[in-house]
Amino acid sequence: MQLFGIEVEWQPIWLTLEIAAMTTVVLLVLGTPLAWWMARMKSSNKVLLEALVALPLVLPPTVLGFYLLIAMNPNGMVTETLSWFGYEGQLTFSKTGLVIGSVFYSLPFAVQPLMHAFETIPNRLLDAAATLRASFLDRFRTVVMPLARRGFLTAATLSFAHTVGEFGVVLMVGGNIPGETRMVSIAIFDHVESLEYAQAHLLSAMMLVFSLAVLMLVYGLNRKFEVKVG
């Protein structure tokens, strides 16, 4: 397919969407219990955890990527551990490694909105549900999730969008293997390096429009799903 006379490269786009989607799913599954635990935490350890979760916000992505590269080296502990569970192959310069890196990179974008949503849910509502014979998982499903739905929507959209926009971590952990680890941001970098400005323009414009649309979606949903607690 051609757009404005330029051939669109679909491969990096599909790969980016695929990795962002997988990352979002993993983040919601792991981030929900973590955010719940942190939201109900009273001890001073909470400060440390909050700082750790927020770290990817301030750390240069290359630093995060560097450490992940070291951690996931083919003879390292992480790869060894995974191989016991039947994982074949290496983590660095592979899709799996990219997803793991993205999960760390986008962690605050999933955990922070979830944690804030959970914090606004009064304990007495959970107590009330308990006196009405609801088990913990039942309470979580029927009281917490509906009241925190804005948090879930924000967490999902932001994790997805932020993963789409990552560059430094991808470069360090994934490299630039077409069809395997070459995501949109890398492709743009590549084009600019090779002075292929037309290609870079097209991909950049697509990213710009996509990001704007996602952010508008988030803010729109926030307005629509406002939940009054009280």
Partner 1 sequence: MKTNHLKGNLTLDLGGFALNSGDFNLPMSGVTVLFGRSGSGKSTLLRAISGLDKRTHGQLSFANTVWQAGKQHRPTAERDIGFVFQDAALFPHLSVRQNLDYGIKRLPKGKAPADFDQIVERVGVAHLLDRDIGFLSGGERQRVAIARALLMQPKLLCMDEPLSALDWRAKAELLTLIEELVESLQLPVLYITHDPMEVERLADQVVVMADGRIQSVEPLTQLLNRADSPLFDHQGAVSVLQTHPLESGGVSQVRVADQTLSLPGSRATKGARPSQRQLSRVRILARDVTLALEDPHKISTSNHLVATVAELIDQDDHSLLVRLKLADEQTFFAEVTHDSAQRLQLSPGLVVFALIKTVALNR
Reading the block at residue 85, the tokens are 């569970």
In contact, 92 and 176? CB cutoff 8 Å: no
CA-to-CA dists, residue 51 to 44, 104, 213, angstroms: 12, 13, 30
Least distance between partner 1 and beta carbon 126 (Å): 9
Q: What share of the chain is helix, strand, coil (3-state, %, to 5)?
A: 75, 0, 25
Burial class from Cβ neighbours inside 10 Å (0-12, 13-18, 19+) for residue 209 reads exposed
Q: How far apart are CA 104 and CA 166, in angstroms?
A: 11
Residue 85 vs 223, nearer CB to partner 1: 223
Stretch that binds partner 1, among 130-138, 179-187, 192-200, 209-217 (CB under 8 A): 130-138
Stretch that binds partner 1, among 7-15, 70-78, 105-113, 141-149 (CB under 8 A): 141-149
Query: By three-state DSSP, how is residue 74 classified?
Result: coil
- Site for partner 1 contains 86 (CB under 8 A): no
- Partnered with residue 2 across adjacent β-strands are 7
Q: How far apart are CA 13 and CA 194, in angstroms?
A: 19
Sign of CA dihedral 29, 30, 31, 32: positive
- Site for partner 1 contains 41 (CB under 8 A): no
Residue 224 vs 228, nearer CB to partner 1: 228
- Site for partner 1 contains 44 (CB under 8 A): no
Residues in region 155-194 near partner 1 by CB under 8 A: none
Number of residues that bind partner 1 (CB under 8 A): 21
Least distance between partner 1 and beta carbon 1 (Å): 45
Least distance between partner 1 and beta carbon 68 (Å): 38
Quote the strand ranges of 69-206, DSSP E: none
Least distance between partner 1 and beta carbon 127 (Å): 5
Stretch that binds partner 1, among 94-102, 119-127, 168-176, 203-211 (CB under 8 A): 119-127
Residues 6+ away with beta carbon under 8 Å from 183: 12, 15, 16, 19, 98, 166, 170, 174
- Site for partner 1 contains 74 (CB under 8 A): no
- Site for partner 1 contains 45 (CB under 8 A): no
| Amino acid of residue 72 | M
- Site for partner 1 contains 120 (CB under 8 A): no
- Site for partner 1 contains 129 (CB under 8 A): yes
Residue 84 vs 228, nearer CB to partner 1: 228
Applying CB under 8 A, the residues found at the interface with partner 1 are 122, 124-125, 127-135, 138, 142-143, 146-147, 227-230
